[in-house]
Structure 1
Amino acid sequence: MSSNQDTCPLEPAHRRYLLDLALASIRHGLTIGKPLPVDPANLPPPLSEPRATFVTLKKGGELRGCIGCLEAVKPLAIDVADNAFSAAFRDPRFPPVTAEEMDSLDIHIALLAPPEPMSFVSERDLIGQLRPGIDGLILQEGPLRGTFLPSVWEALPRPGEFFRQLKLKAGLPEDYWSDTLKIFRYGTETIE
């Protein structure tokens, strides 16, 4: 993992490049059916270092697609291009984006900081530690896993409800609790 993940925010020119790249990858996907290829050898270090990202598409303020990766396994620019394509064409909750929708899409990119494990003694203790609007959460129970980006706090502002909905997203009942439950928190840098 790159140590750059939890240091300085990206420069404005790099942020603009990533937004333009996400849009170009979606346009490329409309005509070619694949993400836009990116050569990280031609990019400055912040854009060529491994980073974990999520790309969220909104249309008229409503979710239109969201795909990402929790682990930093690809260079940042490639991760953004791949996730933008996948958010537009592979999110199973939505039909593929059409050419007619392109001008009405808003693109949001979340750069994830490395997740940190949380320590807690009960569900109440865990919920009391949550920081609305700041924490992204990963819930893991055996093979089941789910995540909510910090932006989900806008729709679920109460910590208890945020956590209950995350359990449902991971495939668990909303009243589920276990001593083997693992929770990780992470922050994001948002590019819009």
Structure 2
Amino acid sequence: MNVIRAFIAIDLPDDVRKRLSQVSHKLQQQLKDYPIRWVPPENIHLTLKFLGDVSEHNLRLLTDLLAGEVGTHRPFEFGVGTLGAFPDMRRPRVIWVGIEAPNELLALQRGIDQTTARLGYAREQRPFQPHLTLGRVSRNASGAQVRDISRILQETTVGFLGSTRVTEVHLYRSDLRPEGAVYTRLFTTPLNPDAPPAIA
């Protein structure tokens, strides 16, 4: 049985992606001496649900369920800006740019999480914190390196980078290769302009 790694995500417009690329390039220059794996600009996206392994059988069911769920949500916009890190800026392991999360985005993520659970995919245990990952600090980074990275991040200001209008959701395949992850879009389904407003 063939199995792929997959995730569900929102893509970004070219203007926002270009500004994210500029922010990432600036950070890479400032942090070039530190063990950080940077995400290529073309791979930056807003993940709604990481599925992990998906079988061919589940893939067919998944696309049908995803289309049904996404079709109950109407298009919306969100803003992109501010620099952050997980678990926090003092102990950065994942470097990201934040998302202004409107009710529509939260409702869409919640609906997708509930829908994929019907196929046996685990529900998210942590509150959804929408973000765009720029880089990941190596687990081999020393305490001194992590403190330096933290200081540089806290000294870096990232303002508003633009708005994204969400009209569709994508299912991606992820292939891990020596040069990094390669994402292939497998399925796209539109939001529904006639859907009722989202409830917080």
TM-score bracket, shorter-length normalisation: under 0.3
**Which has the larger share of helix?**
1
Could you tell me the TM-score, scaled by structure 1's length? Answer: 0.24
**Which has the larger share of strand?**
2
Could you tell me the TM-score, scaled by structure 2's length? Answer: 0.23
